[in-house]
Amino acid sequence: MALRRSISFWLKLLIKVPLALITLLLTTYYLSPVFNFERGVPFEGASFYNPYADLPSQQIRANFHAHARAWGGLTNGKTPAKEVVQLYVDLGYDLPGISNYNMLEDPMPNAPIHLPMYEHGLNVGFVHQIVVNPSEATLLDYPFYQTRSHRQATFNRLREDDNLIMVAHPSSRAGYSYEDLAHLTGYELMEIISVQAVSPDHWDAALSTGHPVWGIANDDCHDTTDYDIGLCWNMIYVRDTSRASILRSLRQGKHFAVKGWQAKDMNELEYIRVTSEGLYTIKLAHPADSITLIADQGERVLIATGLDSLSFQIAPQHTYLRAEVFETEPWNDWTKMYFNPVIRSKDPSLSFPPPSHSVNWPLSIIHWLFIFLLQIVLVRVLIRW
């Protein structure tokens, strides 16, 4: 009899503790209203913004998404941060970013350049963001489900005057839908390629609806023994290696993303130019296997092979144009370079639209009431059981 009571007690405890935790975590949903969204409007204007105009001469190699051992080994990171950084340094990285889950890593003495960053996200759908240059990390998230309004509320909450928000692996799991990216605002960067996810189509979904977002390639490595270090990187044009200069170049799109092997460059960009009439020209250091030009909705408007340069007249219906360069070598399998788009604009400069979604108060109250009633039900179950 005593054994039966003991088993019953522990079974109830095993059920009540998770229920109590769920009840508590549901409180986070009161922090997000329901927003009225407007679908983004495609870029327009007689001018073009070219992120590769007036490029600084110095380049740095950077990764913004790598995991080290953190939180006592509870999260998916196997190697100490200093060792991860050293592996990147040995491959020639200047900015070997460590972006552990919801915590900032201390500067590593062996890192040539340190920029604070972390991966935000504690939810079952793996809806994550990389926050670059935050003042602090936050654990706050919507853990069980996320509507478009929750995603927007997260962007709004993470926003600071001098940080950058990157959409992480948008095509992975629940991630971000094409329609999400057509409506959401408040982010500047998107992880378009990584070991974990391939998301150029999501990039085109955002660009096609007037969101000026720049592409980033990251390893998103979790275990250094899996050979997933040095497979993705970013080449950033900077005036110097100060934090302000790096952030400015990232914000202006003065960088390109690469998927390859062991951070080995197979080609170099000499320039990308666009005239006021919309004649786009890309020039590489040597001929590439292929150069593909991509416009609205991911349309491949031109594919050329065996060239080191090409020119293309941007059609009136195209609101942006971006290039992908593909290379193969026997020693390196293949490498692809993703260049940021030139964008139609009313003037040669470009500014990011601030979040401007209005709150739908009736729907917000209904949603909050639903959460409240759900918590009441869970509390009654906990009390009566």
Q: What is the CATH number of the domain that holds 80?
A: 3.20.20.140
Q: 220: Cβ–Cβ under 8 A, 6 or more apart, which residues?
A: 65, 66, 67, 168, 169, 191, 194, 195, 196, 197, 228, 232
- Long-range interactions of 133-138: CB distance < 8 A, separation 24+: 133/162, 133/163, 133/164, 133/243, 133/247, 134/104, 134/158, 134/160, 134/163, 135/160, 135/163, 136/104, 137/102, 137/103, 137/104, 138/102
Residue 45 in this model has a pLDDT that exceeds 90 = yes
**Residue among 303, 299, 336 nearest 319 (CA):** 299
Residue 4 in this model has a pLDDT that exceeds 80 = no
Residue 334 in this model has a pLDDT that exceeds 90 = no
Q: How far is CA 204 from CA 13, 95, 219, 369, in A?
A: 49, 27, 21, 37
Asked if residue 100 is part of any domain, the answer here is yes
Find out whether 59 and 95 touch, Cβ atoms under 8 Å.
Answer: no
Asked if residue 222 is part of any domain, the answer here is yes
Question: Which pLDDT score, from 0 to 100, does residue 349 have?
Answer: 79
Residue 384 in this model has a pLDDT that exceeds 90 = no
Q: In the chain, how many domains are there? A: 1
Question: Which pLDDT score, from 0 to 100, does residue 212 have?
Answer: 95
Q: 21: Cβ–Cβ under 8 A, 6 or more apart, which residues?
A: none
User: Position 31: which residue type?
Assistant: L
| pLDDT, mean of residues 115-122 | 98
Distance CA 234, CA 258 (A): 6
| pLDDT, mean of residues 122-140 | 97
Asked if residue 60 is part of any domain, the answer here is yes
**Torsion sign across C-alpha atoms 307, 308, 312, 314:** positive
**Burial of residue 213 (number of CB atoms within 10 Å: 0-12, 13-18, 19+):** buried
Asked if residue 70 is part of any domain, the answer here is yes
Distance CA 334, CA 326 (A): 7
Question: Which pLDDT score, from 0 to 100, does residue 128 have?
Answer: 98
- φ/ψ region of 298 (left if φ > 0, alpha if ψ in -120 to 50, else beta) reads left
Cross-strand pairs, 345 = 47
Find out whether 271 and 263 touch, Cβ atoms under 8 Å.
Answer: no
Question: Which pLDDT score, from 0 to 100, does residue 223 have?
Answer: 83
Mean pLDDT over each residue of the chain, to the nearest integer: 94
Asked if residue 160 is part of any domain, the answer here is yes
Find out whether 100 and 133 touch, Cβ atoms under 8 Å.
Answer: no
Per-residue confidence band for 147, with pLDDT thresholds at 50, 70 and 90: very high
Asked if residue 111 is part of any domain, the answer here is yes
Query: According to DSSP H, which parts of 40-186 are helical?
Result: 81-90, 148-158, 178-183
Cross-strand pairs, 193 = 198, 217
Cross-strand pairs, 327 = 335
Asked if residue 31 is part of any domain, the answer here is no
| pLDDT, mean of residues 155-175 | 96
pTM score over 0.85: yes
Residue 8 in this model has a pLDDT that exceeds 80 = no
Range of the domain at 81: 54-265+329-337
Q: 122: Cβ–Cβ under 8 A, 6 or more apart, which residues?
A: 101, 102, 139, 141, 143
Asked if residue 46 is part of any domain, the answer here is no
